[in-house]
Amino acid sequence: MDKLNIFKTISKIFLGFIVFIVLLFGGLILFVESPELFIKDKIAAADWEPKTVDEDLKYNILDSEVEYGYRLVAESAKFMGPGADQPEMRYAGNNLACVNCHLKNGTQAGSGSWVGVLERFPYYSNRDGKESTIQDRINGCMERSMNGRKLPIDSKEMSAIVAYMDYISEGIPEERKAEFKGYPPIELPNFPADPEIGKDLYAKECAVCHGEDGQGQRLAEAEKGYLYPPLWGDDTFNHGAGMHRVITAAEFIKSNMPFEQATWDNPKLTDEEAYHIAAYINSFDRPQKANTEEDFPDKKFKPVSTPYGPWVDDFSPEQHKYGPFPPIINYYKEKYGITKSK
């Protein structure tokens, strides 16, 4: 074989090797970016589950930004609460973790899950009186549920929390999105919620975890916050939080409590029981948020169970706190043509 033929043969082998390498790495990149393209039969919508961090943490393959976001929401007291090492990182004013309400690290349906949440923003917020971004919504929780102050919008902490929300939402089927949105509604009775009835139900269903005094149970590593959060008192959500509204609290309780005994589609408590427990929990003192009179610039859109004024109706503060709520709902429908559910 002459030198020219040898050169051509070697060139073909080398070119073939280069093409193989390009295809191999191209395929690997495509698989990482779009693994669904390599799955012959896509996972049925009913079988889809949100991503969890456990496996990725175990094998040390979790994206560093996503992991930081997870730490912030799961160990909030340690990383951005009163116990944070750096004083400037003490954004939360209590020792709650975000996941004390957004259960199972934000993946449990019916508990204000973050699965698919990024697709819902921006939207118009009646409470803020303006278009709200996901960052605005997170900061609403920081100021109310966490009784603290806002995270800077452009901070690495804000970016990491959003990245974590995106991570647990990966691949959510269209058919499942509604399931993870907010809290399933309860049927509102035409009588007020009764804290005394709620007290007995609380002792039976709630006190084993949250304590008879409502002060919860700390984690073994106390600096990380609570295993079961306090429900009233100094170290919990303030009076401007959504959970201080009886209807919202009752919806959450019905769908999720007792913890690991109830789910949104298989509850243990009735609507009425959850309604009375919510009244009992919200009958106690808790931190007061400043400037709540500025909430809902158009007061017509204030939820009927918002327990603090002002309102644009003549119903009593007691009725706004405990109900009955159907008469208030009917009033806004008849006078303003506004349909409210809570």
Question: What would the pLDDT profile of 60-77 be if each residue is shown by its tens digit?
Answer: 999 999 999 999 999 999
Confidence of residue 19 (pLDDT cuts 50, 70, 90): low
| Across 36-50, 138-152, 159-173, 201-215, least confident range | 36-50
- pLDDT above 80 for 30: no
List the one residue out of 124, 80, 234, 107 whose CA is nearest residue 171: 107
- pLDDT above 50 for 313: yes
Confidence of residue 8 (pLDDT cuts 50, 70, 90): low
What span, in angstroms and rounded, lies between the C-alpha atoms of 264 and 249?
Answer: 14
Q: Which residue has tokens 């019916």? A: 110
- pLDDT above 60 for 277: yes
What span, in angstroms and rounded, lies between the C-alpha atoms of 131 and 123?
Answer: 5
Confidence of residue 39 (pLDDT cuts 50, 70, 90): low
Per-residue model confidence (pLDDT) at position 46: 86
Structure tokens at 166: 């995106």
Q: Are 115 and 106 in contact (CB under 8 A)?
A: yes
Structure tokens at 109: 């349906």
Q: Which residue has tokens 């005394």? A: 196
Per-residue model confidence (pLDDT) at position 337: 98
Average pLDDT, the chain: 92
- pLDDT above 60 for 1: no
User: Could you write out the DSSP letters of every residue in 119-155?
Assistant: GG-SEEETTTTEEE-HHHHHHHHHHTTS-S-PPPTTS
pLDDT digits (tens, 9 = 90+) for 237-265: 999 999 999 999 999 999 999 999 999 99
Q: Are 115 and 103 in contact (CB under 8 A)?
A: no
Q: Which residue has the higher pLDDT, 19 or 147?
A: 147
- pLDDT above 70 for 3: no
Output the pTM of the full model: 0.86
What span, in angstroms and rounded, lies between the C-alpha atoms of 77 and 92?
Answer: 7
Mean pLDDT, range 33-57, rounded to an integer: 74
Cβ within 8 Å of residue 281, ≥6 positions away: 198, 202, 214, 231, 232, 249
Confidence of residue 129 (pLDDT cuts 50, 70, 90): very high
Strands 123-125 and 226-228: unpaired
What span, in angstroms and rounded, lies between the C-alpha atoms of 159 and 140?
Answer: 16
Confidence of residue 44 (pLDDT cuts 50, 70, 90): confident
Among 14-18, 39-43, 211-215, the range of highest mean pLDDT: 211-215
Confidence of residue 26 (pLDDT cuts 50, 70, 90): low
- pLDDT above 70 for 275: yes
Per-residue model confidence (pLDDT) at position 40: 43
Per-residue model confidence (pLDDT) at position 21: 72
pLDDT digits (tens, 9 = 90+) for 152-207: 999 999 999 999 999 999 999 999 999 999 999 999 999 999 999 999 999 999 99
- pLDDT above 90 for 20: no
